[in-house]
Amino acid sequence: MQKDLSNYRKSYEKQELLESTCPENPIELFQTWFLNADTSDMVDESNAMTIATIGKDGFPKTRIVLLKKFTWEGFIFYTNYNSEKGKAIETNNNICLSFFWPALEQQIIIKGKAETLSENLSDGYFESRPDGSKLGAWASNQSSVVLSREELDNRLKTFEKKFSGKEIVRPKHWGGYLVKPISIEFWQGRPNRMHDRIRYTLTEDFFWKIERLAP
């Protein structure tokens, strides 16, 4: 079976990105773009992002996770530290995050280094989660092989009983990462595939170098 997609084309004409409108700090521009996506009726889950890691097998792997916070320092997400992505980060903490909002014809690509978030910050976020999500963090040995859906459901029931009437504390194998960016690229679709690409690169003296890239 095959399907030819060579005629799939779309002209991007909604917005532009010019150096004259770019702030000195890319986090400021990220905030502007993110808030615009977050308030748009055309964007679902504006905080959904792709995270790429390099596994112990040497292969890159991408998956979708949810951004939970961003600050001047970087970008925060949470996961199981024993998961495939957690083990990959433990071996090589150079990772890439990317956002794609097709309705706005925009992408953001972030290269950075992931650092384990402090326990008190992970505790604080965990406490804000619904009880079902808290129990799921206990019940799922993320990325491990399971024999059936029934096995997962039984593990959830086990922890429901264990924590019945008790505080559901954060498991030590679950918590957050802070991704400190070294490069942030903003991509805005333009007509004739002449897209706007503006890249911020962190210099050794901690200033951001701004460059335009060819599309």
Active site amino acids: 193
* Cβ count near 82 (within 10 Å): 16
Handedness of CA 89, 24, 208, 118 (dihedral sign): negative
How far is the C-alpha of 20 from the C-alpha of 40, rounded, in Å?
Answer: 25
The kind and range of the H/E element at 123 are helix 119-128
The DSSP bridge partners found for residue 201 are 183, 209
Nearest to 182 by CA among 156, 199, 202, 197: 202
Whose tokens are 């502007």? That residue is: 32
